[in-house]
Amino acid sequence: MDTFTPNYRPQVAIFSDPGGLAVSLVEKLLANFCKVSIFSKDGDGWRESIEHIAQKEFIEINENEAQPEYIIFFDLRLEAAESQYEKLASFYIKNPAKTLVVLPFSFNLSDSTRVSKIVRTIEGLGQDFGIIYIGDLIGPRISESDAGSLGRLLTDAIRKKSFPISHQEMTIFPVNISDAAREISKALFSFGPYGASLAIIGKPATGAEIYQRVKSYLPDIEVVYTKGEKRDEATAERKILKDQVPEQALKETIVWLTRFPKVAPSSKRKEGTEKARGI
């Protein structure tokens, strides 16, 4: 006869740097009475990022003995090397579990081939794997590891007093970090079919529309038109469309980035990325 264990907590493994979305997800999982195992090269960064969390006894960092029931792997900047996906596959073989891979919903057209290859890799790993595509994150604690186009545009506005708008019209899908974390948590524990894809995005907006909203908080910024690069969007079986990001969230994001300007500017991309990331 099955016995009930009152102190049982399902274990979730998270492969991610300590970005705003990952930290928010950890908070949501703890609120759902989970135990969280974090795997990251930046263990010290994680310890600093979770310092405010009261339930740290249910968080472990880089503990190789973890045996999770669920796995979440983040690659929001499409910079995870092939070896990292191989590590994920090896970890899954030892610990078969429902696995979600988190990717950006929109990306440069030059990254389309890479995204397609990642999707094929994930599909080849079996029906336990699903993909979640995330729109352009906004909200306090946004960091370089999870900032999309919107985060980099806001960083340019703060640092350079300029707001770059591409001649290749760019659509932005702003979604609040907290909302995205909540939907990922729901998807993780849903009883729907595995192997599916889900997009969590906000109401689409153009760069010009975002500029008008940002200018009310940063009145000195000016539009700078750039050549830019064409964008592509992921194809998801299901979409969750969140409401327009409220002004308060936009204001809080600008305040956060002013205090902690760690997001890479939109006009610069890491050199050597194509060679380093493998896939």
CB contact at 8 A, 36 and 12: yes
Structure tokens at 70: 């669920």
d(CA 145, CA 18): 8
Task: Output the CA–CA distances (angstroms, integers) from residue 244 to 65, 96, 172, 183, 202, in the order listed.
Answer: 42, 37, 11, 16, 6
Tell me: pLDDT of 237 over 70: yes
- What's the pLDDT at 24? 96
How would residue 249 be classed by pLDDT, with cut points 50, 70 and 90? confident
CB burial of residue 128 (10 Å; 0-12, 13-18, 19+):
middle
Mean pLDDT of 17-22: 93
In the chain, the percentage of residues whose pLDDT exceeds 70 is 89
Is 60 exceeded by the pLDDT of residue 273?
A: no
Of 73-77, 142-146, 267-271, the poorest mean pLDDT is in 267-271
Q: Which residues contact 256 (CB under 8 A, 6 or more apart)?
A: 139, 140, 141, 142
Q: Place 147 in a pLDDT band, splitting at 50, 70 and 90.
A: confident
- pLDDT tens digits, one per residue of 20-73: 999 999 999 999 999 999 999 999 999 999 999 999 999 999 988 889 999 999
pLDDT over threshold 60, residue 127: yes
Query: For position 192, what pLDDT does the model report?
Result: 57
pLDDT of residue 279: 41
Query: What count of Cα atoms within 13 Å lies in the side-chain half-sphere of residue 25?
Result: 31
Helix or strand or coil: residue 32? coil
The closest of 110, 139, 168 to 247, measured between CA atoms, is 139
* Helix or strand holding residue 175 (H, E): strand 174-176
Does 152 score more than 90 pLDDT?
A: no
What residues are paired with 206 via a beta bridge? 171
Tell me, what's the pLDDT at 75? 96
Q: pLDDT class for 140, splitting at 50, 70, 90? A: confident
Q: Looking at residue 244, what is its pLDDT?
A: 79
Question: For 170-212, how does the pLDDT look when each residue is reduced to its tens digit (9 = 90+)?
Answer: 899 999 999 999 999 999 988 555 568 999 999 999 989 999 9
